[in-house]
Structure 1
Amino acid sequence: MESAATTGDRRDRDEVAEMFDGSSGMSDAFNDGQVHLAYWYDDEDQASLIEASQRLTRKVADSLRLRKGDRVLDAGCGLGAPAIQLATEYGVQITGINISTRQVAEARARARATGLADQVTFRVGDYSSLDFPDGSFDAVVAMESLVYVSDLGHTLGGLHRVMRPGGRLSLTEPTREGLSVVRANQFAAGFGAKWLLSVAEWLDPLREAGFEPMEYLQCGPRVFGMGDKYLQAVDTRRDELAARFGETAVDELRQTLENFFAPGADQIGYAVITVQKPRN
């Protein structure tokens, strides 16, 4: 018989899957499958949203020192664009896992369209309960995905298990800077997340799971501080998006983005945190 905790975890997973299933169409159209946030150098940077999103993916790849042939797990792979970018630019073999059946279907279609179906694999599954053998991967990518798990320690322990000794994990997440814990949790709940942690609050559970910190880059002003860039992207593409999804959906997207970025980079940062599984 299921325990209350098990039932609750399943309910949480179902709610997260439903949230991403519902948003995947607009996400795919708006930023070409790069569901995570983007990186601009300054207000004068004219890079498109897609280009700036790809920059952040490269920062993750560079922090992991990815090499051709590396086996990489993308935990919470979204619509698959980052995984395909990593396979294309770095020559890695990558497995993406996601609880959203719709997003996985679209990621698979994207891999087939780019001719990478043999190099990039997408699976429907829960990255907090992995069934891969020990030491299956050289690296793990978790871009804005770990804030949705119910038991962070358990999830990190599972990621640690499936990595080879010396393998690296790189995660990216908005971080709590000027916000109190209470206000941070309220903010996180607004986009379906469990929490909003500071860098120090991330490092503690990572260490407890057996990882050694290697690098943590705080790039909040160039990511979370660039909210106006997202609003400009909506305004520039309003007619195109409205033709596909309707004016109401575009208005809702713009309002959601405006609310999300309202606290500013002095209150909410953005970190790329890279850790390593000890070699022995």
Structure 2
Amino acid sequence: MTASAPLPTWSPAAHGALYDLCLGPSHHIGAWLATDDHTGTPWQWLDWAQDRVVGQVADLLRLRPGDHVLDIGFGSGAVPLRLAATVDVAVTGCSANPVEVDAAADLVTSTVHFELTGALLPYSDAAFDAVWVKESVEQLPEARRVLKPGGRVVITVPVPNLHGLVDAVHDTGLIVEQARDLGAGPRVGRTWDMWAQLFQEHHPALFDRYGAEGIVAMDNGITVLLSVVTGELNCAVVVARDS
């Protein structure tokens, strides 16, 4: 039996490049419509679908001009910029990944900035009008602590167990207002289809970064990943508020 190629050494910089090349600037799941056609490029399709999620989250948070929003796990920095422009709010993006924070430094504006944080957020209690938690369920207790009374939290995470996510939100003392998914199948799965297509298109660039062994490992791993997530993984959205 031939030994499988080792996975590439993990580093925030290397994996940040993988996300940049395969998920576009926003690094999050998209909301696809049945009416979406194939005009434009994969980058544009991802951009439009990810923009829809930003708009949906802004509506769910019931943002008002002048609010201050905390984006936990902001990714590349594109989402806070979009969120700020959508509703004229201030956004603080925080991440435990120093590479993301450094990369987003050039995106800082008068209303958007980014900070490196750890497990305990460096913000005072009740500091924010709203919080968006992206794939960082472990930060829910801190999200509640920094949320103003009556403020809202939106949690978005690809998870097949929506009930488990709701239970985790309840455990923090937040009151769940709604829980749903953006839809299995094409409505979410198309993001993974784009990932696969862009992965192939950017194979040479990924080869330069990861080397031959890394690419073999990725080819094998992504095939297995896509066989699971395309058919099974939903994007769960939970809206909760502080009492």
Sort the TM-score into its range (normalised by shorter chain): 0.7 to 0.9
1:140-219 equivalent positions in 2, closer than 5 A = 140-146=131-137, 152=138, 155-176=139-160, 198-219=161-182
Preserved contact between residue 231 and residue 254 of structure 1 (Cα < 8 Å) = no
Letter in 1 for 2:120: S
- Who is 1:232 aligned against? 197
- Tell me, yes or no, if the aligned pair for 1:224 and 1:270 is still in contact at 8 Å: no
**Contact map agreement 1:43 1:226 (CA 8 A) in 2:** no
Q: Which amino acid aligns with 2:55?
A: R
Offset at residue 84 of structure 1 (A): 1.0
Code of the residue aligned with 2:15 in structure 1: it is S
2:5 equivalent in structure 1: none
Deviation of residue 23 (structure 1)?
A: 1.1
The match for 1:102 is 99
d(CA) in 1 for partners of 2:12, 2:48: 22
Give the drift of 1:238: 5.2
**CA displacement 1:118-163 (0-9 Å, x = unmatched):** 211101112x3112111100111112233xxxxx3xx322211110
Query: Is contact 1:174–1:224 with CA below 8 Å preserved after alignment?
Result: no
Which has the higher relative contact order, 1 or 2, with Cα contacts under 8 A spaced 6 or more apart?
2
Count of residue pairs brought into register by the alignment: 226
How far residue 32 of structure 1 moved from its aligned partner, in angstroms, is 3.7
What is the aligned-residue identity percentage? 25
Deviations 1:215-250 (CA, angstroms, capped at 9, x unpaired): 2221232114653232233345556x4697588577
Cα RMSD (Å): 2.7
TM-aligned CA distance change 1:119 to 1:87, over 3 Å: same
Between 156-165 and 248-257, the greater mean CA deviation after superposition: 248-257
Work out which of the residue numbers 4, 12, 15 in structure 2 matches 1:20. 12
Which residue of 12, 21, 25 maps to 1:33? 25
The TM-score, its normalising length taken from structure 2, stands at 0.80
Q: Which runs of 5+ in 2 are unaligned?
A: 1-9, 39-43
1:136–1:163 Cα contact (<8 Å) kept: yes
Residue of structure 2 aligned with 1:51, choices 24, 48, 51:
48
Distance (Å, rounded) in 2 between the aligned partners of 1:40 and 1:83: 20
Cα deviation, residue 170, structure 1: 0.5
Q: How far is the alpha carbon of 1:254 from its aligned partner?
A: 5.6
Q: CA deviation at 1:95?
A: 0.6
Asked if 1:137 is matched to 2:128, the reply is yes
Contact 2:98 2:116 in 1 (8 A): yes
* 1:15 counterpart residue number: none
Structure 1, 66-75 or 44-53: larger mean CA deviation: 44-53
TM superposition shift of 1:43: 8.7
